Amino acid sequence: MVDISTKISGIKLKTPLMLASGILGTAGTSLKRIAVFGGASAIVTKSLGVEPRSGHKGPTIVKSIAGGLISAIGLANPGYEAFKEELDIAKEGGVPVIGSAYGFSFREYIEVAQALESYGASAVELNLSYPNVGKTGAFYGKHTELSYEVVKAVKESVNIPVFAKLTANVSDIVKVAKACEEAGVDAITAITSLEAMKIDVNTGRPVLGNKVGGLSGPCIKPIALRCVYAITKEVDVPVIGCGGITTGEDALEFIMAGAQACQIGTGILTRGITIFKKIAREMEEIMEKQGYRNLDEIRGIAH
């Protein structure tokens, strides 16, 4: 019998396959559906801020090459206060709920993180990396010192585990990961979507309402995998791999690169909401065939 359960910062996961932030995560009922019907082992909310945000004008999404998407939703969210009741519904899904927080200042990050803790989130993931909104994520995640300080500030303000979600649009992601570790982060999520754009040649105009956005999906998997490999080599805190994971083979690659768990987003597009169940089955099949009994046995073996 193959066992693919895992644990991250003391949070038990029946499989390593979590829902990534910003995917079907703006309402509790949706998160619950992904847990119950989809089979996700944990669900991460849409990134929440202090105030409601309508986000960017459309198009907010355009399909890209090789199953990729370029998106610029623009952190549309109802603000954390609206999520008190959404989180209660999400928790009915019976799996850990992780609140994603962003802020325009340290104080805002702290405010959102504390609220999410009081609403019963199992952990908070800091969105340091969202490339679309001029002043926030990119600003923090692209500066080693700011990343350190925001993680430290939030760590000092909440008791639940704090995850930091990183961008690969930096010269050295390992440096940022190390800074987060020094600041006391409990886990690192790598990576968020990569800065990208699409131009329509009929009109000569950028397609996205925000002109630029973030690339996600299978086309970024090799980049994400290499980031996880590089980070786990230098950093001791657990790493959650994210970026293009669509099959059981993809997920196993991330585990073998050293990831503790995985997050899945764009894969839902091609494989539907039940992708979490499908990938779990595929992982078990491959592991069975290769004679692997559990994830600990293969974690990081590519090093």
Q: Which C-beta is closer to other proteins: that of 96 or that of 258?
A: 96
Q: Does 136 bind ligand FMN (CB under 6 A)?
A: no
Contact residue for other proteins among 22, 214, 248, 258 (CB under 8 A): 22
217 near ligand FMN, judged by CB under 6 A = yes
Whether residue 59 is preceded by a cis peptide bond, meaning omega within 30 degrees of 0, is yes
Which of residues 55 and 206 has its CB atom nearest to ligand FMN in the complex?
A: 55
Longest alpha-carbon distance in the chain: 57
- Of ligand FMN, other proteins, none, which one does residue 222 interact with (CB within 5 to 8 Å by kind)? none
For residue 269, the partner it binds in other proteins, ligand FMN, none, with Cβ less than 5 to 8 A by kind, is other proteins
According to DSSP, the β-strands at 187-190 and 162-166 are parallel
Min dist. Cβ of residue 252 to other proteins (A): 24
Measure the CA–CA gap between 109 and 118, rounded to whole angstroms: 14
Give the separation between CA 230 and CA 221, rounded to whole angstroms: 14
Q: Name the one range near other proteins by CB under 8 A: 164-172, 265-273, 275-283, 287-295.
A: 265-273
Relative to beta strand 43-48, strand 194-197 is unpaired
- Select from 122, 147, 193, 247 the one that contacts ligand FMN (CB under 6 A): 193
Q: Which residue has the tokens 């193959």?
A: 2
**Cβ atoms of residues 8 and 187 within 8 Å:** yes
Task: Break the chain down into helix, strand, coil percent, rounded to 5.
Answer: 35, 20, 40
Please give the helix or strand (H or E) that residue 239 lies within, else none.
Answer: strand 239-242
Among positions 46, 91, 142, 178, the unique one binding ligand FMN when judged by CB under 6 A: 46
Please, what is the minimum distance in Å from the beta carbon of residue 286 to other proteins? Answer: 26
Query: Which one of 3, 7, 55, 139 is in contact with other proteins (CB under 8 A)?
Result: 55
> Under the criterion CB under 6 A, does residue 198 sit at the interface with ligand FMN?
no
Task: Considering only residues 71 through 90, tell me which ones interact with other proteins, judged by CB under 8 A.
Answer: 71, 73, 76-79, 82, 89
**CB 186 within 8 Å of CB 162:** yes
Q: Which of 155, 165, 178, 198 binds other proteins (CB under 8 A)?
A: 198
What is the DSSP secondary-structure string of 38-96? Answer: T--SSEEEEEE-SS-B--PPSP-EEE-STT-EEE---S-B--GGGHHHHHHHHHTTSS-
User: Does 302 contact other proteins by CB under 8 A?
Assistant: no
Q: Applying CB under 8 A, which of residues 30, 100, 147, 192 lies at the interface with other proteins? A: 30
List contacts with other proteins (CB under 8 A): 22-34, 46, 52-55, 57-63, 69, 71, 73, 76-79, 82, 89, 198, 200, 202-203, 205, 207, 209, 265-266, 268-269
